[in-house]
Amino acid sequence: MSSRLFASRRERWLAKRIPPARQVRLDQRRIFILPTREGLLFGVALLVMLLAAINYQNSLAYGLTFLLLSLGLITILHTWRNLAGLQLAAGEAPPVFAGEQACFRVRLQSSGRAHSGIALGWPPAALQRLDVAADGSGEVELFLPAGQRGWLRAPRLRVESRFPLGLLVAWSWVDLDLAALVYPRPVSGELPPAGGVGEDDDEPGSAAQRSGVDDFQGLRPWQSGDSRRRLHWKAWSRGQGLLVKDFTELHSHDLWLDFDSLGGDREARLSLLCHWVVHLTAHGQPFGLRLPGVSRPPALGGAQRDLCLRDLALFGLPAAAQGRQP
Amino acid sequence: MKKTPLPIPRISLLWLLVAQVLVILPHLFHLPVWIGGLWLVCATWRIQVFRQRTNYPGGLTKAFMLIAAAAGVYASRGSLMGLDAGVALLVSTFLLKLVELKTRRDALVLVFLGFFTVLTSYLFDDGLPAALYSLLPVTALLAALIGLQQSGLSDKPWPTLRLAGSLLLQAVPLMLVLFVLFPRLGPLWSVPMPGTGGSRGLAESMTPGDIAELSQSSALAFRASFAGPIPPRRDLYWRALTFEQFDGRRWSQLDEMTRSRPDWRPEGPSLSYSIVMQASGQPWLFALDTATTDLEHTRQMGDFRLQRRRPVDQSLLYSVTSWPQARREVQGSPRLDVALQLPDHGNPRARQWAAELKARHGGDPQGLVDDLLGHFAREEYYYTLKPPLAGEDTVDHFLFDTRRGFCAHYAGAMTFVLRAAGIPARVVAGYQGGEVNPAGNYVQVNQFDAHAWVEYWLPGHGWISADPTFQVAPTRIEQGLQQALPAEDTFLADAPLSPLRYRHVEWLNQLRLSWDNLNYTWQRKVLGYQGAEQLKLLESWFGNVDPARIGMILLACLGLLFGGLALVLLKPWKRPHDPLLRQYRRFERLLARQGVRRGAGEGPLAFAERAALALPGQAAEIRAFAQRFAHQRYADAAADPAALRRLLGRLRRQLPWRPWWRTGNASAGVRGG
């Protein structure tokens, strides 16, 4: 109870001190520093050495003890400096399906000095390590399990460094406003006939055949998500680039994925719809999507797929969670 | 969540191996020989583990190795207690730890053990060379610590070493402040001291052979710096202890002599000097007669020697004030009868001669002493370090048969005769003379300066010193042992390479004296910087020295240095520069060298177009750079200065080389066109 209270207070304090931003430069307001367990052990070793120096009245023993103590002190500066001035920027975070690992890219940029042994991540998971050369930059990919559909907001990211001696750790908690869109987990299953798809629709051949009888509209450039079946190979062999034969399906044949026509609970329906959006796009079948309050007219291609999946991901979630743009 | 232990990087293992060699090297001088073998076994084993040729030792093997090492220490040191054995155990642990080195934590323990082992090496040798050498293992241990960090830098040995070195250098100013200002406490509890292989120098009893042995040693006994001019050599009789007891062969000291305080009065001028003595393993200090010191736990004994409560196990600095003309126990002393003790029988000729002398001089003991000393000067006596073997009655044999001997023979014989004649007398052992080092204005006394002389008591005068050796070999007293034995060639005969033998080679002698001066300064200023010395220095700097004030000064100095270092390291006045802009400035400079300059307010793309027109041969490279720059800077693309640098390099290779000092002309030409 009290630990939860503490956690939330800490969160508020951090939010004030290091507000969320897509790009953060680590400076003295944002870097914390404390001895590590190794550092404490080092302190104990120094104490033993000091006792030896006192009892043996040995000047050199005093000297060595003080040299190491001074070393420990100046390591504070070095460890701190190793983190200071580092710029972190959020990179892209491609959407994933629930149950997968969401990947966040974070870009690190030095501003003049080298940063060695920088570790990033979300404890208690292992941190990713990298070095950033002076005037150089680096990129890390960080992974978080995507559990539920919707926006996956990454928690505050821990950036730390123990370089050079490992006696101290300098760290910061930055919020790069990292978020990845999580689509529902695709679950295959039957679509009811009312949807307009035949019982054997799992079979790709039939879908391709049906689209074949539709009106041939013309050729358009290939874009990702288009079926390979529709590639205009002849045009390609003539050197005209990758073209796709575009068809408009007759309205009566339009394939609608309809939320209301499905049974089961909401998440199960969304999962099924998700599966079909992916499946139909992969097989070059145009489709429309109908959700309560949302209607996407039938179309084909990567853009349609992304729009529909986004609708599915955010369906029914509070508006605050939807308004977030990547 | 349990973390899997982190493995040790290869580079760190290498550093640890190097550091271990460097750490144990100075210890090999005093540790049993098998420690070297143990190191070889451990290092080989660990390397084989690393090459996956063998496994880590199991628990049983480890326990066995530990017990074997402890048994080895016990066998070679006869105990597991004491400093020698303790350090041998520490070094064994330090070596054995290498074999079971698995995780980072183990490596860390090894590094800290290494630091401690370096510290213990100071207890055996704290000279300047040893101190400088110890920086090597410390640097290597630091490098190992850096190598443990997961960073690209740690994989490269030279940058690692450079970083370790620069960290150490930066730590030095703080260390000096701490060294000078940190209060020196007395020992908190008593600790075992290094056994220096038995005591060195003068022992508690003396046969003539002991002094002969000492005179073969060129080891340093002590050095003395005088506040005023150095007294002449012939006056430098450094008392260590006295021998009252004679058993016919051996002179030894009497315990009760050491207990009570003697009665004496300072008289005449005094001498102030400080002495740094080497570890002797004995409690007595060296000083000129009659001496007082304010050293802690030290007092003047019944025979006027200075003695410390504990033996001198480490080099020791103390200040002395001496009154050479002091009158000592003029009123007599209840212990005078001790100074008349003789064995019940033996040496009949010497006793008879004493009786004759007593009869001759009757009530004039001083006349008797003068006669005796004159006897040594008049008759055929020889000063030699190679006297013939003594017979049954050692004094008789020396006085009347061989007439060859050195200080111990003369002092022993004279004391015997004086006692036999009823004059209280005793043998004083110590050092005589010493070598004046002109570079540092101090006297250096070596073991071969060991000497024995006589002290006798006269009513109304107290104790008076006399040196029969001076009668026989005045050069020994006035110039030194080497000069007193020119023909014999026995001076340091066992040490043909000792630089002391080559004092006649001018440059070598200069070198030796300078080196000795450096060592002496080191001993006084650094090793002797303990309690009283620290107080003296701090008082001269800050006036009154109460702990709170020194603490404040210490903290202030530390804060100042730390702040200064922070400024140097962090350079807060330097605005964080924009790496993109920096590349663009280089681009501008490059083009300016070709005579194309960006106008005020000219955008990067417009400027690039103009430059491309001016330099059509390089138009493609110029545009490529400018577009990439504009893209990264204004179009929110990820900043990538490395890519810009590559593009810039390509452009530079395309451009004709033109030195910067000719840019003026070229620019005029282009503008004209």
Cα–Cα distance for residue pair B575/B83, rounded to 1 Å = 56
CA torsion sign, B196 to B202 to B207 to B210?
positive
The confidence score (pLDDT) of residue B189 equals: 79
Chain A positions in Cβ-Cβ contact with residue B640 (cut-off 8 Å): 137
Q: Are residues B428 and B456 in the same domain?
A: yes
Q: Residue B638 and residue A107: Cβ atoms within 8 Å? A: yes
Of B172, B576, B638, the CB nearest to A111: B576
Q: Residue B172 and residue A49: Cβ atoms within 8 Å? A: no
Q: Does B493 touch chain A (CB under 8 A)?
A: no
Mean pLDDT of chain B: 85
- Provide, rounded to the nearest whole percent, the portion of chain A with pLDDT above 70: 80
Residue B402 lies in a domain: no
Banded pLDDT at B636 (limits 50, 70, 90): low
Domain end (from B511, B545, B570): B570
Checking if the pLDDT of B1 tops 60, the result is no
The confidence score (pLDDT) of residue A247 equals: 58
Checking if the pLDDT of B335 tops 50, the result is yes
Q: Residue B149 and residue A165: Cβ atoms within 8 Å? A: yes
**Residue A98 near residue A146, CB atoms below 8 Å:** yes
Q: Are residues B592 and B521 in the same domain?
A: no
Q: Residue A59 and residue B582: Cβ atoms within 8 Å? A: no
CA neighbor of B175 nearest in space, from A44, A50, A39, A64: A64
Q: Are residues B417 and B317 in the same domain?
A: yes
Q: How far is B153 from chain A (nearest CA, A)?
A: 7
Tokens representing B568 are 């140097």
The confidence score (pLDDT) of residue A157 equals: 92
Residue B71 domain boundaries: 10-150
Of A38, A66, A68, the CB nearest to B182: A66
Residue B665 lies in a domain: yes
Chain B positions in Cβ-Cβ contact with residue A81 (cut-off 8 Å): 569-570
Cα–Cα distance for residue pair B414/B399, rounded to 1 Å = 9
Q: Does B573 touch chain A (CB under 8 A)?
A: no
Q: Residue B639 and residue A77: Cβ atoms within 8 Å? A: no
ipTM value = 0.76
Domain end (from B105, B126, B150): B150
Chain A positions in Cβ-Cβ contact with residue B576 (cut-off 8 Å): 25, 85, 111-112
Q: Does B635 touch chain A (CB under 8 A)?
A: no
State pLDDT tens for residues B566-589.
998 887 776 656 677 778 888 888
If you measure CA to CA, which chain A residue comes closest to B143?
A165
Q: Residue A70 and residue B178: Cβ atoms within 8 Å? A: yes
Q: Are residues B76 and B135 in the same domain?
A: yes
Residue B583 lies in a domain: yes
Q: What is the mean pLDDT of residues A187-195?
A: 71
The confidence score (pLDDT) of residue B78 equals: 78
If you measure CA to CA, which chain A residue comes closest to B135?
A64
B172/B299: higher pLDDT: B172
Q: One-letter amino acid identity for A323?
A: G
Q: How far is A224 from chain B (nearest CA, A)?
A: 23
Checking if the pLDDT of B407 tops 80, the result is yes
Q: Which of residues 510-549 of B touch A (CB under 8 A)?
A: 526-530
The alpha carbon torsion through B245, B247, B248, B252 (nearest 10 deg) reads -40
Classify residue B429 as left (phi > 0), alpha (psi -120 to 50) or beta. beta
Of B152, B187, B638, the CB nearest to A57: B187
A241/A95: higher pLDDT: A95
Residue B366 CB neighbour total at 10 angstroms: 13
Tokens representing A82 are 């190793």
Checking if the pLDDT of A155 tops 50, the result is yes
Residues in chain A: 326
Residue B158 lies in a domain: no
Of B167, B184, B530, the CB nearest to A71: B167
If you measure CA to CA, which chain A residue comes closest to B126?
A60
Cα–Cα distance for residue pair B140/B135, rounded to 1 Å = 9
State pLDDT tens for residues B150-193.
777 777 888 899 999 999 999 999 999 999 999 888 778 777 77
Q: Are residues B535 and B520 in the same domain?
A: no
Tokens representing B629 are 């720059």
Q: Does B567 touch chain A (CB under 8 A)?
A: no
Q: Residue A59 and residue B126: Cβ atoms within 8 Å? A: yes
For A216, list phi and psi in degrees, rounded to 5.
Answer: -80, 120
**Residue A300 near residue A285, CB atoms below 8 Å:** yes
The confidence score (pLDDT) of residue A203 equals: 41
Chain A positions in Cβ-Cβ contact with residue B527 (cut-off 8 Å): 58-60
Q: Are residues B215 and B247 in the same domain?
A: yes
Of A54, A56, A71, the CB nearest to B168: A71
Checking if the pLDDT of A219 tops 50, the result is yes
Of A59, A89, A135, the CB nearest to B579: A135
The confidence score (pLDDT) of residue A208 equals: 38
If you measure CA to CA, which chain B residue comes closest to A84?
B570
State pLDDT tens for residues A100-138.
999 999 999 887 788 998 999 998 888 888 888 887 788
Tokens representing B71 are 């048994």
Residue B27 lies in a domain: yes
Cα–Cα distance for residue pair B352/B359, rounded to 1 Å = 11
Q: What is the mean pLDDT of residues A271-279?
A: 91
Cα–Cα distance for residue pair B53/A167, rounded to 1 Å = 33
Chain A positions in Cβ-Cβ contact with residue B314 (cut-off 8 Å): 56-58
Checking if the pLDDT of A240 tops 80, the result is no
Q: Residue A59 and residue B145: Cβ atoms within 8 Å? A: no
Q: Are residues B476 and B519 in the same domain?
A: yes
Q: Which of residues 156-185 of B touch A (CB under 8 A)?
A: 163, 167-168, 170-175, 178-179, 182, 184-185
Q: Are residues B598 and B638 in the same domain?
A: yes
Q: What is the mean pLDDT of residues B144-148?
A: 90
Residue B77 lies in a domain: yes
Q: Residue B138 and residue A64: Cβ atoms within 8 Å? A: yes
The confidence score (pLDDT) of residue A201 equals: 42
Best of A29, A40, A47, A74 to disrupt the B interface by mutation (most B CBs within 10 Å)?
Answer: A74
Checking if the pLDDT of A315 tops 50, the result is yes
Cα atoms in the Cβ-side hemisphere of radius 13 Å centred on A259: 20
CA neighbor of A108 nearest in space, from A170, A41, A160, A33: A160
Residue B439 lies in a domain: yes
Indicate the domain borders of chain A.
Answer: 2-183, 193-322
Q: Which of residues 318-357 of B touch A (CB under 8 A)?
A: none
Residue B362 lies in a domain: no
Taking 3-state DSSP, the helix, strand and coil percentages for chain B, each rounded to the nearest 5, stand at: 55, 15, 35
Chain A positions in Cβ-Cβ contact with residue B638 (cut-off 8 Å): 89, 91, 107, 137
H, E, C per residue of B112-147: HHHHHHHHHHHHHCCCHHHHHHHHHHHHHHHHHHHH
Q: Residue A49 and residue B119: Cβ atoms within 8 Å? A: yes
Checking if the pLDDT of B67 tops 70, the result is yes
Classify residue B15 by burial, with Cβ atoms within 10 Å: 0-12, 13-18, 19+: buried
Q: How many CB pairs under 8 A join A and B?
A: 182
Of A58, A81, A124, the CB nearest to B122: A58
Tokens representing B397 are 């044999």
Checking if the pLDDT of B417 tops 90, the result is yes
Q: What is the mean pLDDT of residues A200-219?
A: 45
Q: Residue A59 and residue B174: Cβ atoms within 8 Å? A: no
State pLDDT tens for residues B195-229.
554 556 788 788 877 777 788 888 889 999 998 89
Of A68, A77, A116, the CB nearest to B153: A116
Q: Residue A112 and residue B574: Cβ atoms within 8 Å? A: yes
Banded pLDDT at B615 (limits 50, 70, 90): confident
If you measure CA to CA, which chain A residue comes closest to B642?
A136
Q: Are residues B412 and B504 in the same domain?
A: yes
Q: What is the mean pLDDT of residues A180-200?
A: 71
The confidence score (pLDDT) of residue B125 equals: 86
Banded pLDDT at B670 (limits 50, 70, 90): very low
Q: Which of A209-223, B270-284, B639-653 has the highest mean pLDDT?
A: B270-284
Best of A37, A66, A81 to disrupt the B interface by mutation (most B CBs within 10 Å)?
Answer: A66
Q: Are residues B637 and B602 in the same domain?
A: yes
Q: Residue A64 and residue B642: Cβ atoms within 8 Å? A: no
Cα–Cα distance for residue pair B550/B568, rounded to 1 Å = 27
- A16-48 burial, b if ≥16 CB within 10 A, otherwise e? eebeeeeebbbeeebbebebbebbebbeebbee
If you measure CA to CA, which chain A residue comes closest to B187?
A55
B490/B321: higher pLDDT: B321
Cα–Cα distance for residue pair A10/A326, rounded to 1 Å = 27
The structural domain count of chain B equals 4
H, E, C per residue of chain A: CHHHHHHHHHHHHHHHHCCCCCEEECCCCCCEEEECHHHHHHHHHHHHHHHHHHHHCCHHHHHHHHHHHHHHHHHHHHHHHHHCCCEEEECCCCCEECCCEEEEEEEEECCCCCEEEEEEECCCCCCEEEEECCCCEEEEEEEEECCCCEEEECCCEEEEECCCCCCEEEEEEECCCCEEEEECCCCCCCCCHHHCCCCCCCCHHHHHHHHHHCEEEEEEECCCCCCHHHECHHHHHCCCCCEEEEEECCHHHCCEEEHHHCCCCHHHHHHHHHHHHHHHHHCCCCEEEEECCEEEEEECCHHHHHHHHHHHHHCCCCHHHHCCCC
Cα–Cα distance for residue pair B529/B353, rounded to 1 Å = 54
CA neighbor of B5 nearest in space, from B104, B80, B108: B104
Q: Are residues B316 and B244 in the same domain?
A: yes
Domain end (from B105, B121, B150): B150
The residues of B that are catalytic are 407, 451, 467
State pLDDT tens for residues B617-627.
888 888 888 88
Q: Are residues B457 and B511 in the same domain?
A: yes
Q: Residue A124 and residue B1: Cβ atoms within 8 Å? A: yes
Query: Cβ contacts of residue B99 below 8 Å, gap of 6+?
Result: B42, B45, B46, B49, B56, B57, B62, B65
If you measure CA to CA, which chain A residue comes closest to B163?
A164
Q: Which strands make up the sheet holding B287-288, listed edge to edge? A: B287-288, B237-243, B425-432, B450-458, B462-466
Q: Residue B578 and residue A110: Cβ atoms within 8 Å? A: no
Banded pLDDT at A249 (limits 50, 70, 90): very low
**What is the CA angle B153-B157-B158, rounded to 5?**
90
Checking if the pLDDT of B669 tops 50, the result is no
